[in-house]
A and B are shown apart, each in its own frame.
Chain A
Amino acid sequence: MKSQADVMEYLVLVIMIMLIAFFVLLLVFGFQLFTAGSEQAVAKERRSLFLLQSIISSNMLNNPQYQTGSVFDDSKLTVIRCEDIEKLFGEDAWINITVLKDESVCDNVAPEWRKRNCIKALKEEANTLCTTNNYPKCNVWTFCGENKKERMIYRSIPVNIHRKINGTIELGVLTVGVPGGA
C-alpha cells in the first residue's frame, strides 16, 4: 500500500514537472517572439529618427550660413543623386523634401482676377518634382523613390529651403521613410 502511494506521488510529480516545463517553454518562446517584434519596431523608429537628424545637419544638403542646420539649399537638392544619398545615409531609405507654398505672396495682388491667377499658379507649382530641367520652378525633391514600399515607417519634420535664385528662405517639410512598417 505504501509503495503504491509512492508510485502515485511520483506520477503526480512527473506530471507536475512536465506541466511546468511546458509552461516555461511557452513563456520563453512567447517572450522571444514578443521582444524580437518589439525590438525590430524600435530599431526602425530609431533609424528613421537618426536619418532625420543626419539629414538636417548634413553639409552636403544644408546651407553653410545656418550653423543649426535644417536649411537646405535648393541647388544642392537638385543636383544630388540617390547614390550619394545612399552613400551618406545608408540604403533602403526614401527621402522627400517639399516646399509649402506661401499664399501670402498673393495678398497684395490686385485686381481680384490677378490674385486668383497668382494663387492658381502657386497651386500648379506645388507638387512639381524638381529636375535640372525645371529648376527653380518646382517644389518637391524625392530621393531613392524606388525604395518606397507599402510597408514603411514615415517621419516628417518642418524644415526650411533656401531658394538660391532669389535668396529667400521658404517653409518646407522633410519626410523620411524606412522599410518595416506594420
Chain B
Amino acid sequence: MRGQTSMITIAIAIVMIVFIMIFLLTSSLVPQQSQTLKSEYRNLYAHNMLLSMLRMETRCGSISDVLKGAYFGGGKCDSMPFLEARLPGYINSVLYATGNTEYEWFFEATPKDFQGSVLGFGNPAVKDSMEKWDARTMITWEDYQLDVKIYIRTK
C-alpha cells in the first residue's frame, strides 16, 4: 500500500513538472514573437527614415544632392551649413510626428572610393551603442560612391 502511494505521488509530481515546463516554455515564446515584430518594425522605420530623408526635396534640392554638394561643391546652395542647420530638424520632426520622441539618432556619410571626410550629424554615442539598430544605403554619382547610414536607439 505504502509503495503504491509513493508511486502515485511520484507520477503526479512528474505530471506537474511537465505542465510547469510546458507553461514556462510557451510563455517565453510569446514575448519572443513580440520582440521579433518590434525589431522588424524598427528596421523598417530606420530604412524608411534614411530613404525618405535622402529623397526629400528642399530649397537646395534633394538631401542626396545636398550631400553631393558637400563633397564636390556646386548645387543650389551652400551645402554644409544647410545640412548642419536643417538635417537634424528634419529627422527630429519625423521622430516627433511618428510619436517616437524617445529615439535618438546618428546620421553618417562615408566616402567609399574618393578622398573626403566622414560627415556626421546627431549623437555620435548612438553609433557605438549595443542597443542600436541601423539602415544603410549607397548614393552613386558617376564613379563615386557615398555610404550613408543612420543609427537609432532608444534614449
Tally of chain B residues near chain A (CB < 8 A): 45
Of B12, B27, B59, the residue contacting A34 (CB under 8 A) is B27
Check B52 for interface membership: any CB of A closer than 8 A: yes
Task: Judge whether A45 is part of the interface by a CB distance below 8 angstroms.
Answer: yes
Per the CB 8 Å criterion, the residue count for chain A at the interface is: 48
Identify the interface centre among B19, B31, B52, B97: most chain A CB within 10 Å of its CB.
Answer: B52
Given A46-B37, A49-B40, A171-B94, CB of A160 within 8 Å of CB of B55: yes
| Chain B residues within an 8 Å CB radius of A45 | 34, 37-38
List chain B residues, Cβ under 8 A from A56: 48
B51 contacts A70, CB within 8 Å?
A: yes
Whole-angstrom distance between the Cβ of B12 and the nearest chain A Cβ? 5
Contact residues, A89-108 vs B (CB, 8 A)? 98, 100, 102, 104-105, 107-108
B44 contact set on A, CB distance < 8 A? 49, 52-53, 157
**Count: A-B pairs, CB below 8 Å:** 117
Residues on B with C-beta less than 8 A from A27 are 19-20, 23
CB pair A49 B59 closer than 8 Å = no
A23/B59 in contact, CB under 8 A: no
A35 at the A/B interface (Cβ < 8 Å)?
A: yes
Question: Cβ of A49 and Cβ of B37 under 8 Å apart?
Answer: yes
Of A31, A39, A52, A171, the contact of B90 (CB 8 Å cutoff): A171
B139 interfacial by beta-carbon distance below 8 Å: no
Interface residues of B in 17-43 (CB under 8 A from A): 19-20, 22-23, 26-27, 30-31, 33-34, 37-38, 40-41
Chain B interface mostly: helix
User: Which segment, of A13-21, A74-82, A129-137, faces chain B?
Assistant: A13-21
Residue-wise, chain B 116-130 has the 8 Å CB interface mask toward A (1 for contact) of 000000000000000
Give the docked Cα–Cα distance between A164 and B56 (Å).
14
1/0 contact string of A32-57 vs chain B (CB within 8 Å): 00110011011001100100110010
Please report which residues of chain B, range 29-88, place their CB below 8 angstroms from some CB of chain A when the two chains form the complex: 30-31, 33-34, 37-38, 40-41, 44-45, 48-49, 51-53, 55-60, 62, 82, 86
22 contacts between A and B (CB under 8 A): A24-B19, A28-B19, A31-B23, A45-B34, A45-B37, A49-B40, A52-B44, A100-B90, A104-B60, A156-B98, A156-B100, A157-B44, A157-B45, A158-B45, A158-B48, A160-B55, A169-B56, A171-B56, A172-B52, A173-B94, A173-B97, A173-B98
